[in-house]
A = this chain, B = another copy of it.
């Protein structure tokens, strides 16, 4: 079983994190779950987001397996993009993980680490000007539901994270598995990553 480590911070968008987590939680290898999901934050403890749901987290320093990192966005991203300590920690984590999925303005946080310089990425369309101006060395793709650049998956806003997670599952476990999961979620998968919907 691979580790899916979800990085939370106060002011994250709940669905950026938990929509993709819901999809990934359903990935199966035979009867076994593919991903063991844990939640982490800089200081550990309860972390609150857009829906006022407070989620229990462990400290980042307690991450033991570096398989897949999930990074949500949120209104706090505008401040965190300029928080050197946070960006340095995210950069180290992102280098160590085998894959990174960054949703919505989470892709801007990932971009601030420099790891997306010169490669394709996308982000929230409502924050597009801010997102792209924060990291001008990224090859930002507007007409994308999500982008894949090597180990980095970046998605458009909020719900697009579910589409990207299903895309990740399709790449890792096959398209049939992604489609099966979409059906269990009664979710209409926007499965063309190059189709910009917003």
Interface residues of chain A, those whose CB is within 8 Å of chain B, are 6, 13-15, 18-19, 21-22, 25-26, 36-39, 46, 50-56, 104, 124-126, 156-160, 183-188, 190, 197-198
Contacts and interface: CB of A to CB of B under 8 A. Distances in A.
Contacts of A52: 21, 25, 36-39
A160 B188 contact: no
Contacts of A185: 15, 157-159
Contacts of A198: 183, 186
Contacts of A160: 186
Contact of A126 (B13, B22, B183, B188): B183
Count of chain copies: 2
A188 B54 CA distance: 27
B38 A25 contact: no
Nearest to A197: B188
A47 to B, nearest CB: 10
Nearest to A22: B15
Contacts of A124: 186
20 contacts: A14-B18, A14-B21, A14-B25, A15-B18, A15-B185, A18-B51, A19-B19, A21-B51, A21-B53, A22-B50, A25-B51, A25-B52, A36-B52, A37-B53, A53-B56, A125-B186, A156-B186, A157-B184, A183-B198, A186-B198
